[in-house]
Amino acid sequence: MELLRYLNEHFLTREQVLANCGMEADTLAALQHRRMAPLPSYRLRLAVSCESFFGMHDEQAMLDYYPRGYPDWLRAVEAMDDAAHANDLFVHRYRTQLARLAADGLAVPEALATGEHVAAEWRHFLDGTYGVCTVTGLPEEIATKEAAALAVDAMTEGGGKRVLTTDEIRLLGRIVDMLDRAMAPFAPHEVDRSTRARLVNTVRRSFLEQGRHEAEERSRLTRKAMDDIDAGCVIDHQAMQAWADSLGKEDPLPPPVDA
């Protein structure tokens, strides 16, 4: 099963999370009930049918999967008194990362740091949503994913902007790489509908590859022009100016040729 392989490669089962933290299952359940720790990002309901020398055996099981960064969060909140302290930690880490990104030159919309927006991010975090779309599921990566995604969307005008300058293409490439590192690969059945498909895969194909080809063509033409100069294949400036001035007139001059 591709899904099972994906989950086992990129996520931790509940048992692995508990072993990593040295935590009891009841403690994890209590933290989740008190809205201090996230729910699983994936939950598999399995119906297993086994055939062996002893005959057939049917069994049902449920497997919970968490992002690999969640043990870090559980260790941080285990000794806290209530959800308010856990929320304060999330808000601090989220906003600190936004400030760090802005200091590094990323255009971070002020709306991302508002109380209303961060409260919504906290709810998504607790519901396990960000474990699906980020690598670690932690506040720093959530902030990076959100800020970088908005920046890519703005630069490409939602995929509609097709002409970017060389400097814009370089900047876009750096932001897409940042988003790529923060964003989960996504499960095989989800990737085509994911933000990764739209903001990483499609942007690289439609903008960055196009920009690379255009840069290579500009470089080729520049080298050709320099070779022409070295070979003396140049056009007189006055002849070029006269031709340009004649454009749009009733009897425009023919394009000049090299001397």
pLDDT tens-digit readout, 156-179:
887 666 677 778 888 998 999 999
User: Please, which pLDDT band fits residue 226 given cuts at 50, 70 and 90?
Assistant: low
Tell me if 142 sits within 8 A of 130, measured CB to CB.
Answer: yes
How many residues are there in the chain? 259
In this model, does residue 216 exceed pLDDT 60?
no
pLDDT at 236: 72
Tell me if 222 sits within 8 A of 216, measured CB to CB.
Answer: no
pLDDT at 108: 96
Cα–Cα distance between 178 and 142 in angstroms, integer?
12
Which of 140-144, 184-188, 198-202 has the lowest average pLDDT?
A: 198-202
Q: Which two structure tokens, joined as six digits, stand for 28?
A: 């994890």
Domain boundaries, the chain: 2-213
Tell me if 12 sits within 8 A of 67, measured CB to CB.
Answer: yes
pTM beyond 0.85, yes or no:
no
- For 42-60, what is each residue's pLDDT tens digit? 999 988 899 999 999 999 9
Pairwise pLDDT comparison (57 vs 225), residue with the higher score: 57
pLDDT at 254: 83
Tell me if 205 sits within 8 A of 211, measured CB to CB.
Answer: no
User: Please, which pLDDT band fits residue 256 given cuts at 50, 70 and 90?
Assistant: confident
pLDDT at 164: 75
